[in-house]
Amino acid sequence: MTERVISEFVERTSQFEAEFCAEFPEGAALSPDFFDPDQTGLPLFYTKKTEGYYLIYGVFDPAEGKLGPYAILIDVYGNVKRSLSVPFLDDSKGVRRLLITKNGNLLTNCSEALRCYSWQGDLKWELPINNFHHEMEEYDGKIYLWRGDAVVSVDLEDQSITTLLTMGELVVSNPDVVSLRIPLNEKFQYLEKHKKTIAFDGKDPDLANKKVAFRYEDPYHQNHAAVNGDACPLFPKDALLISMRHIDTVFVVDQNTAKVLWEAHFDRQHCPRWEADGITVYNNRPHFQYSTIEYLSFDKKRKKILVDGKDYAFDRYATGNHAILDDGSILFVCNEPEFYHLSKDGEVISRFVNRHNSKLLHVANVFYIDEATYQRLESGGPLVE
C-alpha cells in the first residue's frame, strides 16, 4: 500500500516538478513583451499547429498593471498578439468565464456582472453585478446562463433579461425526482427574501414555521445552462440542459413546464454539451483519482471516455470546461493552470501551462481560432460566416 501511495503521488505531481514543467522539451515560454522580461517562469506553450491562435482567459501577471483577469490572444509562436484586462468590480473577485459571441464580441461575467467588449477590446455595454455565474452559451442572438438560482437568457441586441426557469419551479414541478429533494437539516435557513428563486419543500412537516422558502449553503451549485436549439432532435428546441454540481446531476428540462425530461448522474460535473443523441460532460470526479471528459447517449446504452485524466495527470476539483471542434479535436482546461488541445485520435496538438515565477495561475477558458477566422475578426467581421 505504501509503494502504491508513493507511486501515485509521484505520478500526480510530476508535471510540476523540475521547474514545474520539465516535460516541455519542445515548448517555449511566451514572448516577454506582455510579461516583465526580468521575470522567470513565464507561461509555457507547446504546439504542433503551424497556423492559428489561442484566446486564453484566466489570471495573468503582466509587465504593466497588476495580477488579475485577462484575455490574451497568442499565435502559434507564443507571441501575445493582444490582451484585454477584465477588472474586478466592487468587492467581487470572481474571475468567472469568457465567451466569443457569434458576432465577434467578447462577453465576460467576471465579478458576476455581464460586460461585452469588441474584438479590439472596447467596452460596448455592461449589466451590473447581479450574480451571473459559470459558463455561458449562445443561441439565436441570446446568451443562456445562471443568474443566482434562475436560468436566464440575455438578448445581445437590447440586453433584456428573461427568466426561463427558477429552482422553485423546478423542484415543485418534479416532486418525484429524488435528486432535487435536498434533505433538510439544521444548516438550512428559511428566508422570505429567497421565496422567488429558491426551491420550495412542501414535504417538510415543520414548513409552516419556516417561512416557505429555504436556502442551504449552496445546496445545488448550478453551473451550466444551455438551450437545445438545433442540436438534438430528441427534445424540444427550447429544452434546457442544466448541470448541478452538488447533487452530481445533469438534467434536460422542458422550460415551459419545468418538467425533467431526462437526468443522469456524474461526480461534481461541469459543462455538459448537447450532442445529436447524447451529451458530453466534464466529469470532475473529486471522489476518484482523476477527472474525465465523457460522452453518454440519451438512452444510456453508450458511454465513452473521451479524455481520461490519468493520461494527462489532471484532477480538477472544481470548475472545468471543454469543446469539441468541427474537426473532431477536443480543447479543454485540465489542472488549474493548464489547457490541452487533442486531435480526434488523441494526439497532443497543443499544451499550455500558466505560470509566472513560482506561481501557478488559473485558466478559465480557451478558444482556438484559425487564420481565416482571425482575419475576419480583425476586420470587424463575425466569428462564424
Which amino acid does the sequence have at 275?
A: E
Percent of residues, the chain, with pLDDT higher than 70: 83
Q: What distance in Å separates the CA atoms of residue 312 and residue 330, rounded to the nearest whole number?
A: 14
Euclidean distance between CA atoms 5 and 361, whole angstroms: 27
Mean residue pLDDT of the chain comes to: 85
- 3-class DSSP state of 310: helix
**What length does the chain have?**
385
Do residues 101 and 123 touch, judged by C-beta distance below 8 A? no
pTM: 0.86
Main-chain phi, psi angles of 168, to 5 degrees: -60, -50
Q: Quick one: average pLDDT of 342-359?
A: 90
pLDDT score for 30: 81
More confident site: 267 or 91: 267
CA atoms in the 13 A half-sphere facing the CB of 160: 5
CB atoms within 10 A of CB 311: 14
Task: Give the pLDDT confidence of 113-163 residue by residue, as tens digits.
Answer: 999 999 999 999 999 999 999 999 999 999 999 999 899 999 999 999 999
Cα 155 from Cα 161, distance rounded (Å): 7
